[in-house]
Structure 1
Amino acid sequence: MNRGLSEEQRRRIDENRKKALERLKLRRGASPIVAQEKPDVSLLKEKVASSVAAQPAPKDIPILPRVELTAEQKKRIDQNRQRALELQKERQKNRRDASRPEAAIPVTEQERKRFKNERPSIQKKDYIEYDFSTMKDSKGGFLDDNDKFGLQGPEEESQTLKDWKEKQKQDHIVKDLAPPLDLANAPKCFECGSLEIDPNLFTNFGARVCRRCMREKQDKYALLTKTECREDYLLTDPELRDTSLLKRIEKPNPHGFSRMQLFLRYQVEEVAWKKWGSSEGLDAEWEKRERVRLERKEKRYREKMKEMRKKTRAEEYTRKLRNGESLGERHEHSWSAPLAVGDNEKMVRRRCIDCGIETEEIII
């Protein structure tokens, strides 16, 4: 069994065994030994020989023939090598240019003429030292309003839950409704009977109308503001606030802080016809209110004129008392010097110095 080991292998095995026994003795507190009984050596040799014999014999690796490159492959390799060398030179040149101080870039004559004819750009900071539209109040750097900042940082303002819900409604994209399961009982358009009704009007106003009919009849399905409903259809604020009577949608008002309410025109007209009887009744009521408004305006004008006359008479009475004149005596005009009227020398104009009356006279 030991014929497979050479003399060198046996010698190494003996040395390793001796070293292992010395380490074992050192651990147990004994002095290292140099030799050991022979039965242990033979047993160790048998174990090593059995392990070597159990290993499979190495297979002979066949020698592959040398592959020669074709002319096309050699040409491609040379091209790739030249391209790699050019790239390496370009990188070294860029690195060398970046490390040295910046040199002056030559400017051609054509570029110099173009820069000469080009007008210099005007910057706002050249004539505005303090731009209050861009300045931000930092409150001296000592006060930090943490409640002002939102979740996304200082650019987002804090908002309440109601504002967040309104923003979600605005950002919500109105999608088409799912196709109905029962075609016989499905909601259909008022005008053409189509099943493709507009989901926005159907959800907010309960109006079953398709988008094509809504575009064709814009007057009927237009959205009216609260002011238009109050002035054109003579509806009161309690009627417009009643959600069971009129449905509406609310949007931010670009002209103020209050919410803008939008109503559907044909629903507003139905409520107005029911209130005033018909469109003729609405027109009659509008004419009546317009007539009352004009009468009120005329009455206000007459009262102002009456008040003005009273002030004028009071001023005249005061002036006469101040000058010591009697209130019942007759007024005598004190005429000014005659003045010619235009190019006609025979016609002159005179004016009373006291009362201001003017007369024109013809000199014969």
Structure 2
Amino acid sequence: MKRRSEEIKEGGFLFNEKDNIKMDLKYTKEPKISYIDSKNKSCEYCGTLKIDVEILDVFDLKLCTKCKIENIKFITKTECKNEYLLNDQELKNFPCLNKPNPRKGTWNQMFLYCKSSIEQFAIKKYGSLEEISKLKKQKECEKLKKKVKKIKKLVKKSKTKVVISQIKEKHKHYFKQKGNKGVCDCGMEIEMTTL
């Protein structure tokens, strides 16, 4: 049960102080650029005092916005999987920036990873970038073989369907005599003469 001292009366409604603080924190945003304080001194590359807080929080790198654009290359989750053959379990261990999807806002968020750290991990896992490219080629060959096998199977299946349908559709002509002509149900006509 809540104590009366913890509740605040506002406009006829009772609010909990803790809820009020949470609501205030929800709508306040931190500035994206931070000036010098005890935690961060200056940019690692140019020495500027303005540091990008987002990069500092996520990747623990002291960089300004200019140096961030020039020195850090970001790679999406899909590219990590395709280019460096990493899986979701391995990518969970890396810090990433969550951004709204630029193609469509209702789609899943875009996860951006630091390319250099992903590349280092992939080299540690597979040995070298050449090994990764060999493995990618092998996977592509396997995919191609599977596609060819599937297409051959579909072609064979469609051929058997055609043969079966041709067997079922054999037609025998039964002619009915109408004057000098014989007429079949399919529309074929022949001339008949009596001897």
TM-score, scaled relative to structure 1: 0.35
Q: How does 1:82-93 map to 2 (within 5 A)?
A: none
Task: Give yes or no for contact 1:251–1:260 (8 Å, CA) kept in 2.
Answer: yes
Which has the bigger relative contact order, CA under 8 A and spacing at least 6? 2
Q: Give the distance between the partners of 1:162 and 1:311, measured in 2 at CA.
A: 67
Which residue does the alignment assign to 1:247?
A: 95
Q: Does residue 155 of structure 2 align to residue 305 of structure 1?
A: yes
Deviation at 1:262? 2.0
Q: Give the distance between the partners of 2:32 and 2:154, measured in 1 at CA.
A: 58
Which residue does the alignment assign to 1:7?
A: none
Which residue does the alignment assign to 2:116?
A: 266
Q: Does residue 150 of structure 2 align to residue 296 of structure 1?
A: no
Q: Does residue 32 of structure 2 align to residue 174 of structure 1?
A: yes
Go from structure 1 to structure 2 and tell me whether the alpha carbon gap of 1:306 and 1:166 turns closer, same or farther (over 3 Å shift). farther
**What is the SS of the residue equivalent to 2:32?**
coil
Structure of greater Rg: 1
**What is the SS of the residue equivalent to 2:113?**
strand
Deviation at 1:236? 0.9
Which residue does the alignment assign to 1:57?
A: none
**What is the SS of the residue equivalent to 1:235?**
coil
Deviation at 1:294? 0.9
Q: What is the identity, as a one-letter code, of the residue corresponding to 1:229? A: C
Q: Percentage identity across aligned positions?
A: 25
Q: Does residue 64 of structure 2 align to residue 215 of structure 1?
A: no
Deviation at 1:323? 3.1
Deviation at 1:289? 0.9
Q: What is the identity, as a one-letter code, of the residue corresponding to 1:271? A: F
**What is the SS of the residue equivalent to 2:34?**
coil
Which residue does the alignment assign to 2:76?
A: 225
Deviation at 1:208? 4.2
Go from structure 1 to structure 2 and tell me whether the alpha carbon gap of 1:296 and 1:258 turns closer, same or farther (over 3 Å shift). same
Task: Give yes or no for contact 2:31–2:53 (8 Å, CA) kept in 1.
Answer: no
Q: Give the distance between the partners of 2:80 and 2:151, measured in 1 at CA.
A: 30
Q: Give the distance between the partners of 1:255 and 1:172, measured in 2 at CA.
A: 23
TM-score, scaled relative to structure 2: 0.61
**Unaligned 5+ runs, structure 1:** 1-160, 325-364
Which residue does the alignment assign to 2:185?
A: none
Q: How does 1:149-164 map to 2 (within 5 A)?
A: none
Count of residue pairs brought into register by the alignment: 150
**What is the SS of the residue equivalent to 2:136?**
helix
Q: Give the distance between the partners of 1:225 and 1:162, measured in 2 at CA.
A: 32
**What is the SS of the residue equivalent to 2:169?**
helix
Structure with greater strand percent: 2
**What is the SS of the residue equivalent to 2:147?**
helix
Task: Give yes or no for contact 2:84–2:132 (8 Å, CA) kept in 1.
Answer: yes
**What is the SS of the residue equivalent to 1:261?**
strand
Q: Give the distance between the partners of 1:266 and 1:317, measured in 2 at CA.
A: 64
Q: Give the distance between the partners of 2:135 and 2:23, measured in 1 at CA.
A: 41
Go from structure 1 to structure 2 and tell me whether the alpha carbon gap of 1:295 and 1:166 turns closer, same or farther (over 3 Å shift). farther
Deviation at 1:280? 0.9
**Unaligned 5+ runs, structure 2:** 1-20, 174-195
Q: Does residue 137 of structure 2 align to residue 287 of structure 1?
A: yes
Deviation at 1:173? 1.5
Task: Give yes or no for contact 2:97–2:112 (8 Å, CA) kept in 1.
Answer: yes
Task: Give yes or no for contact 1:177–1:199 (8 Å, CA) kept in 2.
Answer: no
Deviation at 1:265? 1.5
